């Protein structure tokens, strides 16, 4: 039996140490049963604390949740009965929603483990029968008074705390009977010994009567705890800890009463983290060769709890007052401006920051202790500063200028001013993510923030787009925050969408449109897999939280917003809607429905469809539609189905989308005015054109999130039109045809011969986006053949690619080029040509490298060509050593990263093994670069099996550095497995990941890897003969 064969994100095992408590843990099997069966009349009544806050879209019946906040009444018997009723109500609403056309669930789950499931059903049934018996036994005796009722309350089975006492809480999510109002944090980091002590004072408000306070804490050693109720005296309390859930708790013998205020004060000590999250230490070597240490934070999603005890869920917003001590030659930064500095008796300085003027989620808190230097500028009411290590200050001008322009743009666009008095952008020498949007203190990887004056526009594009993304978060995410991680896309989809659209206005010379188009294609590729997930999806474990940071939340989120904007009448409708949303929910938390409701409210056109109705079909189900079009005279028929890549073609879903299908035709195809819209809500739809046409192109400029199949005749007509005149369609439309036909070949709907036929038009193509898309697709196939060791085909594929693009390749220059679009085209073409050993390309690259080395830093390689040149250098023994030597000395990080890729692209296996090991060690090559090293090694033939071995051997060390489910781990798995296509490799990959159990076997990226290998295998079996014949 294949445990990965089922369409599941379910966990195979009960949570760690929680076997006793499975009833109260979000066990997916239990949830499924609750959804698809009426065999279980009810669940036991829970006490109000058992009612954890849950956003509307991820309610779990097993918890007996209601939609509304609970109040004190619910502790009496009547409300227990009501709670029981609520279970019923929720169940029926779940049924209602599952019968809605947009929430039809994907394929039936395969019954791979009938016996386990049956066991779970039986155990559950017994538990429920027992609970019902207890309820029935107690209810008659209940006098419907509080006393009578309390006896009747079902007592859950609690886990055991570290001190042996029962821990008073069993769920992953916190209870919401207590709300934090403000935190007062004092931190004393010791960078010499890599430890810190802290004191956290939390002011809280009691929402419902309760005998416990439960909050988060991870790896903190709590040394003293006091508690004060109302105006009473503080007294010492015992803190219990349950490590598997990162929770601590204080129990009380008497109820804390709703409406009361209380204060918990916790003293603690901890080590600075050695990974990239929590309060972590980092270091760099300065220009004099001295090691300089620093400490910084990265809390999103679940690591604020590693720096201070807190209610670490996004919906628990509060204010923060932060104090940090430091040595006199260091500086500290936090979300707010510094209020005062005092000299401590031990000779250290203590900086106190203003109390936050806004309520914020814990994951947005940040602080840094370092010796950085700033440059600053006033923008409206805000002081904008960029910080870096002192020797890189000369690379900060561009970021300051760009951030200032973007801040002005967003203030104006959202009609809400950025609410803080300062905004710092800080380049951290060792930082895993691209950047993090902490409120008022955005942290970046150096390559995402620093560019030299000489840098190429492509490097500036990276800095501008990351800055635009993080600044957009100051509104989307910081001001209005998703209630829970299931709706992460509300943060990330929006920031990604704004990142591209703001730059089109603010810095049009960066030509960001090509990049946005390419990321939409990649989001489609990922979302076509069965292992994909709905944009808004249930999240119940830390690993699942980590996994939400993927291209579905980011790029698909952005794509569906683009589609919505493009389908609304007038260009201001969408903007009005999001202004309304931001104003209505400013300072609060939301879920997906709140956004659609705001957008629906501002609609002026009554004929226009309801936004909620349309968009919920895109956020509540995974995947996207394939639209097939057939044209008979002036009659057009469209049909939709789920574009689902499966290796057996046997899985079908009945998912339907509400698709705003756009189209143009041969008489009018370029101007936006030519665009017509037909809304396809049902399986198929028909409409009439004003007259007959030669061809139709659907999904004008690829603003919709769907793929189109034109049928044999439709494709032939488009092909002919393009071979007569490529300019008959926009370049986005041409790129979309190329992307779609490769996708259809992977789906098995068109033969690869059709793909090659379409590509014939490319000899006349000169625009960036169609060429780069075609190159990417062909290179993918080339690498598959290469890894398959299909030698004769590899050679023919190489000739095919080079001959198709030879005239374009020959036209490329090797000198400075200003246009970003031309740089993108040139670097893609030359990287392909040099990788395929095209002689004039490698000669040019070698000559440029030689000139660069001999000039001793005075001659420059154009930024967009550095990668090509360093890759070629990486292939020769002598140049590799030169490059290696330069890598150790170069300070400019963007160039340094390209050198690293050049080093990792070597085909010398001893060097490959060396570079993988160095990446893990983290001295010469920072560990943050390991995912990049692995992906580069995997692209080459010599190293991909070594890399796979390396990952298996070092898995535990990898997940120590990069959490299970994190984007870094997703990248590593994908790099190592996406080019495999044989049964033997499939078995190996499957065997390894299933042996990991809770160390990673349940990850969605593992399922994705296995699916991809199967699909590669199927594609190869089907298309190798075609390739033999036609290449």
Contacts with Zn ion by CB under 5 A lie at: 492, 495
Nearest to 699 by CA among 536, 517, 551: 517
Pair 768, 736: CB distance under 8 Å:
no
Strand partners, 227: 235, 264
For Zn ion, give the closer residue by CB, 442 or 1010. Answer: 442
3-state DSSP assignment of residue 719:
helix
Given the structure tokens 């200028």, which residue do they identify?
Answer: 401
Q: Which distant-in-sequence residues (6+ apart) come within 8 Å of 737 by Cβ?
A: 697, 718, 722, 729, 758
Return the number of other C-beta atoms located less than 10 Å from residue 799's C-beta. 12
3-state DSSP assignment of residue 785:
helix
Please give the structure tokens belonging to residue 253.
């013998």
Strands 422-428 and 441-445 come out as: parallel
For Zn ion, give the closer residue by CB, 436 or 829. Answer: 436
Q: How far is Cα 415 from Cα 835, in angstroms, rounded to an integer? A: 49
Helix (H) or strand (E) holding 1008: helix 1004-1030
Is 470 a known active-site residue? Answer: yes
Q: Given 3-state DSSP classes, what are the helix, strand and coil percentages for the chain, each rounded to the nearest 5?
A: 50, 20, 35
3-state DSSP assignment of residue 250:
strand
N- to C-terminal Cα distance for the chain? Answer: 39
Kindly compute the dihedral angle of the four CA atoms of residues 250, 256, 258, 261, in this order, to the nearest 10 degrees.
-80
Active-site residue identified among 26, 470, 555, 732:
470
| Torsional class of 447: left (φ above 0), alpha (ψ -120 to 50), beta (otherwise) | alpha
Q: How far is Cα 600 from Cα 594, in angstroms, rounded to an integer? A: 10
Strands 278-285 and 291-298 come out as: antiparallel
Q: Which distant-in-sequence residues (6+ apart) come within 8 Å of 716 by Cβ?
A: none
Strands 589-590 and 481-482 come out as: parallel
For Zn ion, give the closer residue by CB, 354 or 492. Answer: 492
CA angle 971, 972, 978 (to 5 degrees): 80
Helix (H) or strand (E) holding 436: strand 435-436
Q: How far is Cα 293 from Cα 329, in angstroms, rounded to an integer? A: 12
Q: How far is Cα 96 from Cα 936, in angstroms, rounded to an integer? A: 49
**Within the chain, what is the greatest distance between any pair of CA atoms?**
94
Q: How far is Cα 59 from Cα 765, in angstroms, rounded to an integer? A: 51
Nearest to 48 by CA among 24, 29, 32, 64: 64
Please spell the DSSP secondary structure of 203-216, one letter per residue: EEEESS-EEEEEEE
CA angle 722, 723, 724 (to 5 degrees): 90
Q: How far is Cα 130 from Cα 121, in angstroms, rounded to an integer? A: 14
For Zn ion, give the closer residue by CB, 870 or 967. Answer: 967
For Zn ion, give the closer residue by CB, 492 or 893. Answer: 492
Helix (H) or strand (E) holding 696: strand 696-698
Pair 283, 291: CB distance under 8 Å:
yes
3-state DSSP assignment of residue 575:
helix
Pair 847, 839: CB distance under 8 Å:
no
| Torsional class of 791: left (φ above 0), alpha (ψ -120 to 50), beta (otherwise) | alpha
Question: Where are the strands (E) in 491-634, listed by range?
Answer: 589-590, 625-632
For Zn ion, give the closer residue by CB, 392 or 520. Answer: 520
SS (H, E, C) 791-844: HHHHHHHHHHHHHHHHHHHHHCCCCCCCCHHHHHHHHHHHHHHHHCCCHHHHHH
Q: How far is the CB of 490 from Zn ion (least distance, A)?
A: 11
Which residues belong to the active site?
A: 470
């Amino acid at each position: 039996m294949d445990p990965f064969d089922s369409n599941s994100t379910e966990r195979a095992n009960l949570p760690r140490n929680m076997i006793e408590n499975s009833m109260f843990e979000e066990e997916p099997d239990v949830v499924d049963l609750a959804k698809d069966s009426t065999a279980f009349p009810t669940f036991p009544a829970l006490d109000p604390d058992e009612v954890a806050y849950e956003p509307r879209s991820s309610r779990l019946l097993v918890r007996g949740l209601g939609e509304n906040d609970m109040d004190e009444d619910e502790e009496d018997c009547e409300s227990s009965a009501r709670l029981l009723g609520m279970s019923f109500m929720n169940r029926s609403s779940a049924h209602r929603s599952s019968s809605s056309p947009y929430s039809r669930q994907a394929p039936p789950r395969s019954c791979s483990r009938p016996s386990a499931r049956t066991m779970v059903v039986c155990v559950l049934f017994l538990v429920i029968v027992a609970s019902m018996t207890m309820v029935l036994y107690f209810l008659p005796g209940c006098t419907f008074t509080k006393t009578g009722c309390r006896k009747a309350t079902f007592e859950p089975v609690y886990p055991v705390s570290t001190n042996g006492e029962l821990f008073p809480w069993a769920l992953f999510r916190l209870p919401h009977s207590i709300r934090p109002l403000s935190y007062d944090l004092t931190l004393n980091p010791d960078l010499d010994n890599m430890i810190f002590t802290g004191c956290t004072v939390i002011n809280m408000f009691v929402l419902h009567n309760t005998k416990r306070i439960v909050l988060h804490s991870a790896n903190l050693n709590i040394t003293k705890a006091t508690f004060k109720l109302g105006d009473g005296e503080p007294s010492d309390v015992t803190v219990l800890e349950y490590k598997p859930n990162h929770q601590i708790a204080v129990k009380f013998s008497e109820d804390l009463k709703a409406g009361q205020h209380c204060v918990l004060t916790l003293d603690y000590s901890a080590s600075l983290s050695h990974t990239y999250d929590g309060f972590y230490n980092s270091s760099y070597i300065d220009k004099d060769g001295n090691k300089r240490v620093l400490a910084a934070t990265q809390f999103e999603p679940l690591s604020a709890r590693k720096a201070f005890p807190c209610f670490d869920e996004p919906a628990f917003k509060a204010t923060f007052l932060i104090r940090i001590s430091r040595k006199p030659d260091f500086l500290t930064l936090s979300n707010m401006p510094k209020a005062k500095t005092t000299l401590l008796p031990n000779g250290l300085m203590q900086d106190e920051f203003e109390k936050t003027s806004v309520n914020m989620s814990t994951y947005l808190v940040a602080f840094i202790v370092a010796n950085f230097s700033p440059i600053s500028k006033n923008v409206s009411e805000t002081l904008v500063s960029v910080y870096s290590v002192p020797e890189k200050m000369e690379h900060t001008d561009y970021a300051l200028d760009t951030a200032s322009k973007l801040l002005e743009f967003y203030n104006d666009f959202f009609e809400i001013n950025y609410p803080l008095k300062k905004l710092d952008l800080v380049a951290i020498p060792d930082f895993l993510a691209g950047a993090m949007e902490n409120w008022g203190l955005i942290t970046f990887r150096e390559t995402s923030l620093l560019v030299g004056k000489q840098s190429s526009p492509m490097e500036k594009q990276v800095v501008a787009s990351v800055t635009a993304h993080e600044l957009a978060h100051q509104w989307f995410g910081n001001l209005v925050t998703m209630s829970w991680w299931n709706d992460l896309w509300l943060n990330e989809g929006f920031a990604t969408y704004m990142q591209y659209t703001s730059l089109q206005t603010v810095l049009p010379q960066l030509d960001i449109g090509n990049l946005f188009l390419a990321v939409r294609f990649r989001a489609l590729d990922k979302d076509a897999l069965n292992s994909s997930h709905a944009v808004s999806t249930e999240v119940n474990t830390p690993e699942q939280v980590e996994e939400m940071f993927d291209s579905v939340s980011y790029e698909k989120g952005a794509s569906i917003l683009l589609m919505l904007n493009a389908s609304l009448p007038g260009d201001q409708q969408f903007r009005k809607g999001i202004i309304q949303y931001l104003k209505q929910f400013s300072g609060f938390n939301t879920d997906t429905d709140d956004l659609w409701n705001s957008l629906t409210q501002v609609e002026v056109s009554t004929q226009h469809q309801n936004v909620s109705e349309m968009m919920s079909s895109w956020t509540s189900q995974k995947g996207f539609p394939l639209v097939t079009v057939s044209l008979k005279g002036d009659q057009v028929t469209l049909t939709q189905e789920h574009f689902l890549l499966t290796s057996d073609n046997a899985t079908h879903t009945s998912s339907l989308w509400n698709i705003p299908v756009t189209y143009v035709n041969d008489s009018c195809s370029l101007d936006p005015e030519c665009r017509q819209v037909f809304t396809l809500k049902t399986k198929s739809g028909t409409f009439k054109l004003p007259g007959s046409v030669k061809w139709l192109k659907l999904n004008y400029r690829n603003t919709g999130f769907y793929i189109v199949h034109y049928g044999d005749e439709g494709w032939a007509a488009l092909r002919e039109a393009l071979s007569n005149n490529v300019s008959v369609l926009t370049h986005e439309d041409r790129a979309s045809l190329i992307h779609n036909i490769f996708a259809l070949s992977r789906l098995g709907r068109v033969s690869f011969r059709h793909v090659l036929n379409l590509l014939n038009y490319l000899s006349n193509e000169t625009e960036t986006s169609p060429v780069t898309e075609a190159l990417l697709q062909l290179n993918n196939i080339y690498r598959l053949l290469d890894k398959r060791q299909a030698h004769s085909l590899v050679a023919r594929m190489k000739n095919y690619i080079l001959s198709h693009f030879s005239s374009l390749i020959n036209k490329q220059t090797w000198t400075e080029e200003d246009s970003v679009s031309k740089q993108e085209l040139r670097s893609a073409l030359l990287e392909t040509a040099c990788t395929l050993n095209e002689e004039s390309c490698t000669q040019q690259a070698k000559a440029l490298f030689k000139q660069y080395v001999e000039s001793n830093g005075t001659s420059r390689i154009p930024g967009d060509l550095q990668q090509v040149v360093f890759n070629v250098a990486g292939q020769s023994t002598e140049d590799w050593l030169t490059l290696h030597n330069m890598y150790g000395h170069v300070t400019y990080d963007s160039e340094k990263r390209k050198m690293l890729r050049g080093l990792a692209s070597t085909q010398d296996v001893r060097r490959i093994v060396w570079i993988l090991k160095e990446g893990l060690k983290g001295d010469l090559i920072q560990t943050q670069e390991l995912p990049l090293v692995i992906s580069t090694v995997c692209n080459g033939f010599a190293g991909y099996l070594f890399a796979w071995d390396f990952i298996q051997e070092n898995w535990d060390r990898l997940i120590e550095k990069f959490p299970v489910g994190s984007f870094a781990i997703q990248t590593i798995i994908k790099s190592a497995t996406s080019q495999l296509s044989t049964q033997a490799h499939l078995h190996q990959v499957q065997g390894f990941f299933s042996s990991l159990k809770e160390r990673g076997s349940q990850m969605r990226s593992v399922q994705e890897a296995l699916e991809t290998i199967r699909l590669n295998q199927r594609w190869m079996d089907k298309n190798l003969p075609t390739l033999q014949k036609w290449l």
